[in-house]
Structure 1
């Protein structure tokens, strides 16, 4: 078995997630151009989330291939896609409800509780789905969930940075470049944090690898 390679993990995962992030970006563009209703726009973004998750999962599986921590792509990729779908379904819920005319009372403590609970589920959706694959293969696999939650909390900040600097008058090329750069920064952040966790993992036994 090959040793875990931090450069390989960061490079492959960053490329996979950066490319995957372009799927939801394209979804936003299609939704706006086609004038989709809030419900259809939400469904489109959930589907795009599955695509982003699948690419991320594929990149992670490739980066771990040949190491003692390798994961079965046939299970890992679909699990990550499901996690991506859940994340985007929750992430798009508030704006979709507003577009549907739902009056969200931000003065109600229950509203903030629901937002907090939704955010927690969003941040843990992908690693929780992946944990189903890891739980019988890696000691302390549950730690993958909080590590990812921390990584995505920091990484997602980059996706909001272009907002204050772009509007409807921003040239399409500049807007695309801003979101591509934001996506790369997000992906690299997540890759580095999760890579550090993998690098600290104990080598799996042959028995565990056959599970």
Structure 2
């Protein structure tokens, strides 16, 4: 009789198993209200920073740097709101999402501040316009692109998030320009604060609804492919 002991076979765990660690399904309603609250609150931070540097009459480069850095707080608030819902979908979803969101938002604010800063420094109008046009793609892609670096670890074809999210920001950003633009030059501090808050809330509502729909589509497709056995690896 062969008395050799059976050999245990060790199978490496698949690095990509979103369905296996899902706690609950992706909840669009939770995403909407969390993102609405997080983005609205986060948008107040660079707003306050802009108001403070404007009142302090800081040199344009320093003022722009402060506002851009404060944009990281907005990105972090948004990232936390989104991460809380993504963590319900995947228990181990990385907190790096929050850091990526903060970095992407800071870059976006830096791009947004560059044209006006150049104008304040005395550059010709055509240069400010050229800077705005050339930096627009970076502004729009910086946040979704940074988040894509994290999301691609969990879902295939994560590049779809960049497209969906960028489209959402295209729809959501106009209120933040329209609101301040209609303020009179002699607007009071209260009027400025109220306009900024309303504009931020409108932007947050649009981005919360749009990206919630987008993320649900992406994750549902991922789970469906996993259940059908057609999902092989992220791409």
Instruction: Answer yes or no: same fold by TM over 0.5.
Output: yes
TM-score scaled by structure 1? Answer: 0.88
SS in 2 for 1:153: helix
Q: Is 1:88 aligned to residue 109 of structure 2?
A: yes
Q: Is 1:154 aligned to residue 176 of structure 2?
A: no
**Counterpart of 1:135?**
152
Q: Is the 8 A contact 1:61 1:70 kept in 2?
A: no
Deviation at 1:46, TM superposition (A): 1.2
**Counterpart of 2:70?**
48
Q: Which moved more, 1:16-25 or 1:163-172?
A: 163-172
**Counterpart of 1:4?**
26
Deviation at 1:188, TM superposition (A): 1.0
Q: Deviations over 1:100-153 (max 9, x none)?
A: 1122426x9xx64x5433101110100101111111211110011111111111
TM alignment of 1:184-195, pairs within 5 A: 184-195=201-212
| Equivalent of 2:213 in 193, 196, 203 | 196
Structure 2: 5+ residue stretches without partners: 1-22
**Counterpart of 2:38?**
16
**Counterpart of 1:57?**
79
Deviation at 1:164, TM superposition (A): 3.9
SS in 2 for 1:66: helix
Deviation at 1:171, TM superposition (A): 2.7
Q: Which moved more, 1:89-98 or 1:154-163?
A: 154-163
Partner Cα separation in structure 2 for residue 14 and residue 127 of structure 1: 17
Q: 1:149 and 1:26, CA in 2 relative to 1: closer, same or farther beyond 3 A?
A: same
Partner Cα separation in structure 2 for residue 189 and residue 35 of structure 1: 33
Q: Is 1:99 aligned to residue 82 of structure 2?
A: no
Structure 1: 5+ residue stretches without partners: none
Q: 1:78 and 1:182, CA in 2 relative to 1: closer, same or farther beyond 3 A?
A: same
Partner Cα separation in structure 1 for residue 92 and residue 206 of structure 2: 21
Q: What is the RMSD of the two structures over their aligned residues, measured on CA atoms? A: 2.3
Q: 1:34 and 1:78, CA in 2 relative to 1: closer, same or farther beyond 3 A?
A: same
**Counterpart of 2:99?**
78
Deviation at 1:87, TM superposition (A): 0.3
